[in-house]
Chain A
Amino acid sequence: MAAELDPRALRADFPILEREVNGVPLVYLDSAATSQKPRAVLDAMERYYTETNANVHRGVYALAAEATDRYEAGRFSVARLVGADRRGTVFTKNASEAINLVAWAWGIRNLTAGDAIVVTEMEHHSNIVPWQLVAQITGARVLFTPVDGDGRLDLEWLEVTLRTEPVRMVGVVHVSNVLGTINPVAEIARMAHTYGAKVLVDASQSVPHMPVRFADTGADFMAFTGHKMLGPTGIGVLVADPATLDAMEPFLGGGEMISDVRVEGSTWADLPYKFEAGTPPIAEAVGLGAAADYLMDIGMDAVRAHERSLTAYALGVLSEIDGITIHGPKDPDVRGCPISFSLPDLHPHDIAQLVDRQGVCVRAGHHCAKPLMRTLGVGATARASTYLYNTEQDIDTLARALAEARAFMAA
């Protein structure tokens, strides 16, 4: 079993956690939006630029070969983290681009008028809007799996829809960035495959926080984003079975992704390069590889165990607050760490502004999940989300800051 994780020791790896805001120590509770970066990631990127910078895949000289090696080593680490095939691990700009890649490269050629694309009411906009765009062109329809009062997907609805509609694609978020719900993606994939539909899992909030093996998700495609998993911005990942990607046409065209270009037409490079048009985010891939290595050194079981216990603690502390509504499951075994909440007397915007005085960073808004906000019957929520560097003390500071915010507005 993995060793236990000590957040206090890990904090020393994250330079930003030493800073103060408004004269008080930073209490960063917005890792669902973006995580902080450990020294190992920052150093790897700096080392890449100071020692190895060259364009990849093209140069004959030693430096270019080294740059290519570092870039590919980044891919290898990321693939290893999620148990993926290196050839089926495509670097994109972010999770949104990874999903757009599938929507366009797969969707445009495989969807026809009347087909159904099923997503869920708890999707991030990035797993809704690409499908709506492709639906507009193909004449397919986008259907939404309902979310119940406990923040869980209505799998009966999904089963009936798969049985009665020509569903070609099921897009589902692994862990909701608002509710924290961990969705049973393997079960959903099994259901979808029974009816011949493909499955895309948005793993943006799961890969950073828990052990995720691509094969275990049962998905055909899995998307996630570098900046939420200790890596830099500007890089995301699409994982798929190489056979699936081989059967697809490219998404973006340009340099790097071709085998031959002739005036009468072009042929495509091998995987994964076929889907990586243009000079890729090289330093970012190096940084993301370092992030994956850092996470594997700690062990994803240990990360999950820490966050499960911290989430249980946070749910306990926050539920003591008078009048609070915590959205999503209350059982820490079936949820990740984003905790969205509402207070009857304080608007989320005011909450975020007022707790900032205590150095506490929480997010207020619709969290790019407007269909879910409508289901919840709210315009916005406040959201606290933790990561491996957060402690119970951070949660206590949040609770204290919320009490002070209340007192301030009531005064």
Chain B
Amino acid sequence: MGLEDLYQQIILDHYRKPRHRGELAAPSVEVDHNNPVCGDQLHLEVRLEDGRIAEVGHTGDGCSISQASASMMSEAAVGLPVDDAMELIEHFRLMMHREAEPDEDRLGDAIALEGVAKYPVRVKCALLSWMALKDALQTHTATTER
């Protein structure tokens, strides 16, 4: 099993030059997630506008996989209606558990993370930002409906 599957160039590129890194001026919702196994930490901010994800910003500290995944997740999520984003998150989760054929159109660069599924301890790293986004969207829905 080659490590090249895990550390594809596109992943390393997102790791070195993370997209959407930083904080937002006016987030609608923010969440903090961490991976208790390895100590990776992620602060995620999302700005929603008319039921769509207008902006995403992430900060924190983590391994190449979790950092690259946060960058890829942000790229894939920006512009999506909340419902579509929730579906995409589920699709990504299933891909990580090898329960879905990856859909490149929706995943964008994040399809490169497919190889992580072969390394069970790293799956949590890849999922961290996606689960944070899910939490952020659910938190926002819960608070605005109230």
Contact = CB atoms under 8 A, between A and B. Distances in A.
Contacts of A364: 38
Contacts of B61: 379
Interface string B52-96: 000000000111110100000000000000000000000000000
Nearest to B2: A357
How many chain A residues sit at the interface, stated as a range, is 10 to 19
Interface stretch (A92-100, A344-352, A388-396): A344-352
A278 to B, nearest CB: 31
A379 B39 contact: yes
A117 B125 CA distance: 36
B106 to A, nearest CB: 27
B64 A409 contact: yes
Interface in A339-373: 347-350, 353-354, 357, 364-366, 370, 373
A61 interface: no
A349 B6 contact: no
B38 A353 contact: no
Contacts of A365: 37-39
A357 B119 CA distance: 13
B12 A366 contact: no
A380 B125 CA distance: 13
A349 B67 CA distance: 12
A353 B37 contact: no
A348 B67 CA distance: 13
The secondary structure that dominates the A interface is helix
Contact of B63 (A349, A378, A408): A349
Interface size class of B (residues with CB under 8 A): 10 to 19
B25 interface: no
B39 A366 contact: yes
B41 interface: yes
14 contacts: A347-B62, A347-B67, A348-B38, A348-B63, A350-B63, A353-B3, A353-B119, A357-B3, A364-B38, A366-B39, A379-B38, A380-B39, A409-B7, A409-B64
Interface string B25-52: 0000000000001111100000000000
B122 A353 contact: yes
Nearest to A349: B63
Contact of B39 (A354, A357, A370): A370
B12 A349 contact: no
Given A353-B119, A357-B3, A409-B12, A347 B64 contact: yes
A349 B65 contact: yes
B41 A379 contact: yes
A350 B16 CA distance: 14
A51 B40 CA distance: 49
Contacts of B38: 348-349, 364-366, 379-380
A366 B40 CA distance: 10
A365 B62 CA distance: 11
Contacts of B125: 349
A350 B15 CA distance: 12
Interface in A386-411: 408-409
A150 B140 CA distance: 45
Given A350-B63, A357-B3, A379-B62, 16 more contacts: A347-B62, A347-B64, A349-B62, A349-B65, A349-B122, A350-B64, A364-B38, A365-B39, A366-B38, A373-B39, A379-B40, A380-B40, A408-B7, A409-B7, A409-B12, A409-B64
Interface string B112-131: 00000001001001000000
